[in-house]
Chains A and B, each alone.
Chain A
Amino acid sequence: MIYKMLPLIEGQQQIYARIDDDGLCRLTCEADYPEFKAWLEEGNTPEPADTPE
């Protein structure tokens, strides 16, 4: 499981997508989401957002 940044929408906060081991995203969150914060505290870093085409 990893987290990945979503492209920023103007005027909105940064949102992160949790990508499960099967490649599906079943959860998106803001930076205050406790499980995301715990994942960061384990030394992980979210992947950057895809570049808009």
Chain B
Amino acid sequence: MPLSKIDEAGLASSAQFTGFKNRIINGAMMIDQRNAGASISDITGVGAYPVDRFNFRVPAAIGGTFSVQRVADAPAGFVYSAKLTVTAAATVGSTNRSGIAQGIEGLNLADLAYGTASASSVTLSFWVKSSIAGTYCCALRNDTITGIATISYVANYTVSQANTWEYKTITIPGYTAGTISTDNSLGLGVCWDIGSGTSYDTTPNVWSASDKMGTAGAVSIIETTGATFQITGVQLEKGNTATSFDYRPYGTELALCQRYYYRVAAQIAGDYTIATSALAISTTQAFVMTNFPVQMRTRPTALEQNGTASDYVVVRAGSATFNACSSVPTFSQAGLMSAMSIFTVASGLTNGSAGYVYGNTTAAYLGWSAEL
């Protein structure tokens, strides 16, 4: 067929031929580096990530108890969803905010041209399943949940039937009156209100130069014991139309997540994967270098590990002596592409000698965050 016969207009408008249209990362909830599907019970304070990039967060002051988890319950075309279960109801005050959010890096939003007359509309689509039917809210803001947004757009959506997967789409006009970050900081946060106070209520479907999350009368799911709320298939795309979900290869989606959080975990006891090499700086301590698989969004400033020193082992090169750590691995420094940690043992190292480290149990891991 001559090339002149290709319908370019058709290619451009057909969802099947457009990739990387989804500004949401891990919208199908496939990646869960932190928990591998395990439940988390503490979502207060800085919140929790039941799957990569989706933060579930409530303030401690509202009380209640919750669990969040990636579960194998999803509408056709998806495998997983992220689920909130209210095990004991909270009491939301007027100035409290609770939600589920993903922060989108400004670098991935620059083409929306916010703050100009040609600011682009975006369309949010997602699947939701809730144990309580009613009107709910989601918001596009230049913050996530706990920060103070200076622009907000809140929209309502309706859960028509309890405990049933429903597909929702919301088109949000471009914001012409002000700019958003277009660098590696947070550009916009997509937020689902799960229980926020009246101080954050606003008129739906209009941009507001203020810090808003909800609308009056919306369901506050966290105030009902036993309630559940699940989302998956989340997509935010440029334009006025929700198109088919942008399925990306698993490895690609994982790499996208690793820009914001990277965890290297022992797969089997004695696995060598948690770090590559070590350099002893004394008889008891060794520097350990870990290379990140992708460039992080920003330089991590902390190291996470499982809290049990003996789960980590240092081996001196040329020695058959396996030294279990006497204290947990600690942060030393990090850049965009690698991090240095310090492993400590009671004795047995030689200053200046090389070695390696590994997880002594499958519980061992090292993790670094550059989340928004």
Contact = CB atoms under 8 A, between A and B. Distances in A.
Q: Are A and B physically bound partners?
A: yes
Interface of A: 6, 9, 12-13, 15, 17, 20, 24-30, 32-36
B283 to A, nearest CB: 14
B80 interface: no
Given A9-B285, A29-B301, A33-B301, A24 B331 contact: no
B304 A30 contact: no
B304 A27 contact: yes
Contacts of B301: 29-30, 32-34
Interface in B332-360: 332-333, 342
B261 to A, nearest CB: 13
B256 interface: no
A7 to B, nearest CB: 10
Contacts of B329: 28
Nearest to A23: B307
A17 B302 contact: no
A6 to B, nearest CB: 6
Contacts of B328: 25-26, 28
B264 interface: no
A33 B304 CA distance: 12
B88 interface: no
Nearest to B303: A28
B302 A6 contact: no
Interface in B279-320: 281, 285, 301-308
Contacts of B307: 20, 24-26
**4 tightest A-B CB contacts, nearest first:** A29-B302, A24-B307, A28-B330, A33-B301
A46 B158 CA distance: 47
A32 B46 CA distance: 16
A9 B304 contact: no
A32 B299 CA distance: 10
